[in-house]
């Protein structure tokens, strides 16, 4: 009864009712089981005046009293709350007219049926099981804070700037084959501070680069990291940029040589290229970038210069053997001076053969159709022995030139000096090649020395 005493000390009239136990098959919450002198009203389960620790069937009703009434004085009609135990029946509210506190007469109670309404509580409401129906009023949250957003292509007064779709001009301010980050990336930079941070990621062991001062008012910077590569023949570079309205399309050329074609020889020498370009228009940092990659399998000689990486194409050699036929060949009777000739006219033929010794051939009897063919001649020159020779062994069309392969044979008398016999010679060889001679496709003589031991 300590809770009742605390209520009484707080200035409240307290009534204690002992209802029937559950064993009597009576509902302890019904009005019939309560003492007529108790003041009954439905309270919230969280009302601080109700003691929920009392045993089943015991109830406390309290009515606050502001001042003690005088004898025969009656206070205004007051509603008194009583804690009701859990019940499926609808709680009842009654109106009680109390007698003066100094008169121990019973109160007349008239029950009135009402519907309980949950009181709005700022804190979370916890109810016993089964949970009653509770109406919860949610207080509105704080209004959203609006942030000003600068939209690219729109001025502060809302006027749309000219940022038309189509090709975007750019200037490459830095391009290196080595020293970049090992991870591939492509992104937009819109402040000098961020650009300084980008340059700090480069490895200046391969060469220091000064950070350019950019006016970011109407320009942006595009940075591309090519990533780690295994050879110095590989790199990426920006070829073109298109503004598609909702995104940027960046065409990137990725040089990946085909090391199986014999042009580039694979040598493991890692590289990490990077490139920084300044755009002619302002682009938002969050603008999506669509990378269009073009793979180039050609082989280039890549050399870093002050203006970037110089890319020189190493052309693949075209090997197309040409059929040829021998016109004149001898170890004697040739020109005494070593010389190679291309003969594509009657006049050239006369000049080439006028000094030939007729005893070792008949050049005047040779007929050549210079509209459909031409001839090449090799002269070994004078030698003191006849154990020498010169011969055209193959003619190959290399695409941009014709290659004539010649074998020059001579003995090695150092191994056997006694084999040397002085007998002068002047070897030569003239062959016919099909097709009209093209001055734009020069003939290159490739001579191979062949030494025979005696």
Mean pLDDT of the 204-208 span: 75
> 403 φ, ψ to 5°?
-105, 125
State the burial class of residue 13 (Cβ atoms within 10 Å of its Cβ: 0-12, 13-18, 19+).
Answer: middle
pLDDT digits (tens, 9 = 90+) for 398-444: 888 899 999 999 888 787 777 778 888 899 999 999 999 998 899 99
In whole angstroms, give the CA distance from residue 85 to residue 51. 11
Q: What is the pLDDT of residue 37?
A: 42
CA torsion sign for 113, 118, 119, 125 is positive
Residue 453: predicted pLDDT: 67
Question: Residue 132: its pLDDT value, please?
Answer: 45
Q: Which of 54-68, 172-186, 238-252 has the lowest mean pLDDT?
A: 54-68
Letter string b/e over residues 211-222, b meaning 16 or more CB atoms within 10 A of that residue's CB:
eeebeeeebbbb
pLDDT for 140 equals: 41
Number of other CB atoms surrounding residue 184 within 10 Å: 19
DSSP 273-326: -EEEEEESS---TT--EEEEEEEE-SEEEEEEETTEEEEEEEPPPP-EEE--EE
Tokens of 82: 């009583």
Q: Is the pLDDT score of 265 beyond 50?
A: yes
Continuous segment of H or E residues that includes residue 9: helix 2-9
> Cβ(13)–Cβ(98) under 8 Å?
yes
């Amino acid at each position: 009864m300590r809770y009742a005493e605390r209520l009484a000390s707080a200035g409240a009239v307290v009534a204690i009712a002992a209802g029937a136990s559950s064993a009597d098959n009576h509902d302890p919450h019904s009005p019939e089981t309560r003492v007529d002198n108790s003041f009954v009203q439905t309270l919230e389960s969280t009302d601080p005046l109700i003691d929920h620790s009392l045993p089943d069937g015991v109830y406390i009703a309290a009515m606050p009293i502001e001042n003690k009434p005088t004898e025969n004085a009656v206070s205004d009609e007051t509603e008194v709350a009583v804690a009701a135990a859990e019940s499926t029946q609808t709680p009842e509210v009654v109106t009680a007219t109390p007698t003066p506190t100094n008169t121990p007469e019973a109160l007349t109670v008239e029950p009135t049926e009402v519907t309980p309404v949950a009181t709005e509580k700022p804190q979370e409401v916890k109810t016993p099981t089964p949970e009653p129906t509770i109406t919860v009023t949610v207080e509105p949250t704080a209004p959203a804070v609006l942030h000003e957003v600068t939209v690219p292509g729109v001025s502060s007064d809302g006027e749309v700037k000219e940022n038309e779709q189509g090709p975007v001009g750019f200037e490459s301010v830095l391009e290196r084959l080595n020293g970049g980050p090992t991870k591939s990336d492509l992104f937009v930079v819109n402040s000098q501070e961020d650009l300084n941070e980008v340059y700090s990621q480069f490895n200046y062991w391969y060469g220091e680069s000064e950070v350019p001062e950019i006016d970011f008012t109407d320009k942006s910077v595009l940075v591309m990291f090519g990533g780690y590569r295994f050879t110095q023949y590989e790199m990426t570079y920006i070829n073109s940029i298109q503004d598609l309205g909702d995104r940027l399309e960046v065409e990137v050329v990725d040089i990946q040589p085909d090391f199986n074609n014999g042009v580039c020889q694979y040598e493991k020498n890692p590289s990490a290229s990077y490139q920084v370009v300044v755009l002619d228009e302002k682009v938002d940092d969050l603008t999506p970038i669509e990378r269009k990659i073009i793979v180039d399998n050609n082989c280039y000689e890549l050399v870093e210069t002050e203006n970037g990486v110089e890319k020189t194409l190493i052309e693949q050699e075209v090997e197309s053997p040409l059929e040829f036929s021998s016109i004149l060949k001898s170890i004697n009777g040739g020109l005494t001076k070593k010389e190679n000739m291309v003969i594509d006219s009657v006049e050239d033929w006369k000049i080439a053969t006028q000094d030939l010794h007729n005893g070792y051939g008949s050049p005047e009897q040779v007929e050549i159709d210079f509209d459909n063919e031409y001839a090449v001649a090799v002269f070994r020159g004078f030698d003191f022995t006849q154990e020498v020779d010169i011969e055209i062994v193959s003619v190959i069309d290399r695409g941009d030139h014709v290659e004539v392969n010649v074998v020059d044979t001579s003995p090695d008398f150092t191994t056997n000096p006694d084999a040397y016999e002085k007998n002068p010679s002047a070897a030569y060889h003239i062959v016919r090649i099909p097709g009209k001679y093209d001055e734009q496709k020069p003939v290159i003589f490739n001579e191979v020395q062949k030494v025979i031991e005696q």
